[in-house]
């Protein structure tokens, strides 16, 4: 428990015992007893939460986030809260916590950190908007100050972010998590379209990861995104496309040089992820004698045993590989050398090649090349072999890669046509003998047979018929 002490000058202090048994105090200065009593109550709640190894309740967290910097510093000095950094408590408010978490994740790729940053921005903007909606006084004041000019619109966004960063983590509820998902579903992108459902689900998954970390750090008692339903990234079959071999040949003829032909071949017939696995390939990875290629996978290298995989030099890869090999200067390390600059956009150049080939661009340009190869290989090899070559699991392959092609429909139609052609028609008189025999056993035939074989019925009475009785009756009738 805590107590209030007042000296002769009217300066008030709150005295309490910390978790390790030491006596501590918080100087309040000359404040009314009513204010001192309120602060004492909050300190007791903080001490109770620390004793039970749980996060403070949302009201206490909100109070900590809103108190003046001077009082926050005194509470931090007494070991009651963590020291603030900048505008808010790095461990208790949304913005500083997310910044700290993303900075600590040195184990993820740069692209993953970028995706984390998108979710961080969405969370801060959402909770800033929520704060403005719930605070009528702030909303009226902001409208009065900013008006409707474009310049002030940018300033409004700045203020929204400011309030969003100050959102206490412990005040975020499951209802807020559901509202955040709906907010993303209604968000308009720069192209005027709403955010794709899979994108929304992915960002909700990342938000769940953020708050899971906050829970493990005992900053919150429960993860508000923990039991969110329907936030699973599903395969969008509307974006599937199978590149036929004759279209791949047309693209090959439209490529400007041998290296582009190899990029397309490695994607469509080698099943490589573009561009990461193409750019990681070295000539030392190509084993001409054993007809194999070691493929290094930057995407999965952080997983044990998935740093690389081995694929065959498929027949479709032999000529493109030899063309690039023969043109490469002696001592060249990497297979792909002309398009290694990060400022070069392979997608933009590939779109030009597709148009030059007289084709229409399909969704997920490079992914669907890889998926086409996996679907194709599955017609010949077992799934465990194909997944080993492509570097994915059976579940991922079935969910995101394998698809039904036009060739499957054609093959099924041909088989049906062959079966129909082998079956005789009932109109040509060649009806199998077994069908005739079945016709003789129809109910109508059975009735007619029964009428033609009428036998006399002898009354036997109620007793069961025995062999002696049957003999006696025969003698009597004769």
Q: What is the rounded average pLDDT of the residues 82-93?
A: 59
**Structural domain includes residue 139:** yes
Tens digit of each residue's pLDDT (9 = 90 or more) over 95-139 = 999 999 999 988 888 888 999 999 999 999 999 988 888 877 777
Give the separation between CA 10 and CA 212, rounded to whole angstroms.
Answer: 46
**Structural domain includes residue 55:** yes
Q: Is 147 left (phi over 0), alpha (psi -120 to 50) or beta?
A: left
Same domain assignment for residues 15 and 154: no
Contact between residue 143 and residue 152 where contact means Cβ atoms under 8 Å apart = no
Contact between residue 79 and residue 18 where contact means Cβ atoms under 8 Å apart = yes
Same domain assignment for residues 280 and 376: yes
End-to-end CA distance of the chain: 121
- Give the H/E segment covering residue 25: strand 23-29
* pLDDT at residue 98, as a whole number: 94
Number of domains in the chain: 3
User: Among 209-218, 252-261, 424-433, whose mean pLDDT is lowest?
Assistant: 424-433
Q: What is the rounded average pLDDT of the residues 38-67?
A: 82
Same domain assignment for residues 71 and 109: no
Q: Above 60 in pLDDT, residue 173?
A: yes
- Edge-to-edge, what's the strand order for the sheet holding 308-312? 286-287, 292-296, 308-312
* pLDDT at residue 342, as a whole number: 63
Q: By C-alpha distance, which of 123, 67, 60 is closest to 95?
A: 123
Give the separation between CA 416 and CA 412, rounded to whole angstroms.
Answer: 6
Give the separation between CA 46 and CA 144, rounded to whole angstroms.
Answer: 38
- CA-to-CA separations, 109 to 115, 134, 207, 332, in angstroms, rounded: 10, 38, 18, 27
Same domain assignment for residues 199 and 289: no
Query: How many other C-beta atoms are found inside a 10 Å radius of the C-beta of residue 116?
Result: 19
Give the separation between CA 384 and CA 23, rounded to whole angstroms.
Answer: 66
* pLDDT at residue 184, as a whole number: 93
Q: Which residue has better confidence, 320 or 73?
A: 320
Q: Which residue has better confidence, 416 or 11?
A: 11
**Structural domain includes residue 170:** yes
Same domain assignment for residues 283 and 196: no
Give the separation between CA 472 and CA 468, rounded to whole angstroms.
Answer: 6
Q: Above 60 in pLDDT, residue 30?
A: yes
Query: How many other C-beta atoms are found inside a 10 Å radius of the C-beta of residue 265?
Result: 25
Q: Above 60 in pLDDT, residue 476?
A: no
Phi, psi of 255 (to 5 degrees): -70, 145
Boundary-marking domain end, from 42, 61, 84: 84
* pLDDT at residue 212, as a whole number: 94
Give the separation between CA 134 and CA 127, rounded to whole angstroms.
Answer: 10
Provide the pairing of β-strand 23-29 with 286-287.
Answer: unpaired
* pLDDT at residue 337, as a whole number: 92
Q: Above 60 in pLDDT, residue 449?
A: no
Tens digit of each residue's pLDDT (9 = 90 or more) over 147-172 = 655 556 777 788 888 888 888 898 89
* pLDDT at residue 138, as a whole number: 73
CA angle (260, 261, 267) in 5-degree steps: 90
The DSSP output letter for 1 is: -
Average pLDDT, the chain: 82
**Structural domain includes residue 154:** yes
**Structural domain includes residue 222:** no
* pLDDT at residue 235, as a whole number: 67
> Hey, which of 159-173, 375-389, 418-432, 452-466 has the most confident mean pLDDT?
375-389
Give the separation between CA 211 and CA 177, rounded to whole angstroms.
Answer: 11
Boundary-marking domain end, from 407, 439, 454: 407
Same domain assignment for residues 109 and 35: no
Same domain assignment for residues 253 and 401: yes
Same domain assignment for residues 163 and 282: no
Q: Quick one: angle between helices 346-356 and 258-268, nearest 10?
A: 90
> In 334-461, which residue ranges form alpha helices assigned H by DSSP?
346-356, 365-377, 383-390, 394-396, 406-422, 433-439, 443-452
In the block, residue with structure tokens 């929304």: 200
Q: Above 80 in pLDDT, residue 63?
A: yes
Residue 300 burial by CB count (10 A; 0-12/13-18/19+): exposed, middle or buried? middle
Range of the domain at 254: 239-407
Q: Above 70 in pLDDT, residue 425?
A: no
Boundary-marking domain end, from 62, 84, 106: 84
Same domain assignment for residues 265 and 191: no
* pLDDT at residue 84, as a whole number: 62
Give the three-class secondary structure for 27.
Answer: strand
Q: Above 80 in pLDDT, residue 256?
A: yes
CA 275 to chain centre: 21
* pLDDT at residue 86, as a whole number: 44
Q: Quick one: angle between helices 110-134 and 136-146, nearest 10?
A: 100
CATH number of the CATH domain containing 289: 1.10.443.10
Which pair of tokens denotes residue 200? Answer: 């929304």
Contact between residue 184 and residue 137 where contact means Cβ atoms under 8 Å apart = no
Note the pTM of the prediction, 2 decimals: 0.58
Spatial CB neighbours of 232, under 8 Å, sequence gap ≥ 6: 201
Same domain assignment for residues 134 and 211: yes
Contact between residue 215 and residue 225 where contact means Cβ atoms under 8 Å apart = no
**Structural domain includes residue 412:** no
* High-pLDDT (> 70) share of the chain, %: 84
The model's confidence at residue 373, banded by pLDDT at 50, 70 and 90, is very high
User: Among 68-72, 420-424, 438-442, whose mean pLDDT is lowest?
Assistant: 438-442
**Structural domain includes residue 261:** yes
Q: What is the rounded average pLDDT of the residues 312-334?
A: 94
Tens digit of each residue's pLDDT (9 = 90 or more) over 257-292 = 999 999 999 999 999 999 999 999 999 999 999 999
The model's confidence at residue 85, banded by pLDDT at 50, 70 and 90, is low
User: Among 81-85, 172-176, 242-246, whose mean pLDDT is lowest?
Assistant: 81-85
Give the three-class secondary structure for 59.
Answer: helix
Same domain assignment for residues 120 and 248: no
Question: Beta strands of 289-366 (E only): which ranges?
Answer: 292-296, 308-312
Q: By C-alpha distance, which of 213, 214, 211 is closest to 228?
A: 211
CA angle (296, 299, 302) in 5-degree steps: 90
* pLDDT at residue 71, as a whole number: 85
Q: What is the rounded average pLDDT of the residues 392-400?
A: 79
> Hey, which of 46-55, 97-106, 256-265, 456-465 has the most confident mean pLDDT?
256-265
**Structural domain includes residue 146:** yes
Same domain assignment for residues 302 and 360: yes
Query: How many other C-beta atoms are found inside a 10 Å radius of the C-beta of residue 340?
Result: 11
């Amino acid at each position: 428990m805590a107590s209030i002490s007042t000296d002769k000058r009217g300066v008030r202090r709150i005295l309490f015992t910390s978790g390790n048994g030491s006596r501590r105090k918080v100087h309040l200065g000359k404040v009314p007893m009513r204010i001192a009593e309120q602060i004492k109550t909050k300190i007791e709640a903080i001490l109770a939460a620390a004793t039970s190894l749980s996060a403070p309740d949302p009201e206490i967290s909100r109070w900590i986030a809103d108190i003046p910097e001077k009082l926050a510093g005194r509470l931090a000095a007494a070991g009651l809260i963590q020291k603030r950094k900048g505008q808010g408590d790095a461990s208790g408010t949304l913005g500083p916590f997310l910044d700290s978490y993303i900075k600590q994740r040195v184990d993820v790729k740069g692209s993953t950190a970028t995706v984390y940053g998108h979710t961080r921005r969405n969370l801060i903007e959402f909770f800033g908007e929520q704060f403005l909606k719930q605070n009528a006084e702030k909303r009226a004041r902001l409208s009065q100050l900013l008006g409707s000019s474009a310049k002030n619109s940018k300033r409004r966004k700045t203020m929204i972010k400011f309030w969003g960063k100050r959102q206490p983590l412990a005040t975020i509820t499951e209802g807020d998590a559901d509202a955040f998902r709906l907010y993303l579903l209604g968000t308009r992108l720069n192209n005027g379209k709403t955010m794709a459902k899979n994108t929304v689900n992915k960002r909700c998954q990342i938000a769940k990861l953020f708050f899971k970390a906050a829970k493990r750090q005992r900053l919150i008692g429960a993860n508000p995104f923990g039991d969110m339903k329907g936030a699973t990234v599903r395969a969008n079959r509307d974006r599937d496309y199978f590149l036929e071999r004759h279209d791949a040949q047309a693209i090959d003829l439209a490529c400007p040089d041998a290296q582009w032909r190899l990029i397309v071949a490695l994607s469509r017939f080698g099943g490589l992820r573009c561009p990461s696995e193409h750019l990681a390939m070295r000539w030392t990875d190509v084993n001409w004698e054993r007809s194999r290629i070691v493929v290094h996978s930057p995407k999965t290298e952080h997983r044990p045993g998935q740093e690389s995989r081995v694929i065959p030099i498929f027949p479709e890869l032999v000529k493109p590989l030899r063309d690039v090999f023969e043109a490469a200067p002696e001592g060249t390390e990497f297979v792909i050398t002309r398009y290694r600059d990060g400022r070069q956009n392979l997608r933009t150049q590939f779109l030009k090649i597709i148009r030059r080939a007289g084709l229409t661009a399909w969704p997920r340009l490079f992914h669907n090349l890889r998926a086409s190869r996996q679907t194709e290989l599955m017609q010949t090899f077992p799934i465990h072999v194909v997944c080993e070559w492509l570097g994915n699991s059976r579940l991922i392959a079935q969910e995101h890669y394998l698809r039904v092609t036009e060739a499957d429909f054609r093959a099924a139609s041909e088989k049906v046509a062959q079966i129909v052609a082998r079956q005789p028609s009932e109109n040509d008189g060649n009806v199998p003998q077994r069908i005739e025999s079945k016709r003789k056993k129809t109910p109508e035939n059975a009735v007619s047979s029964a009428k033609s074989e009428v036998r006399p019925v002898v009354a036997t009475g109620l007793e069961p018929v025995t062999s002696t009785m049957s003999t006696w009756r025969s003698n009597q009738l004769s």
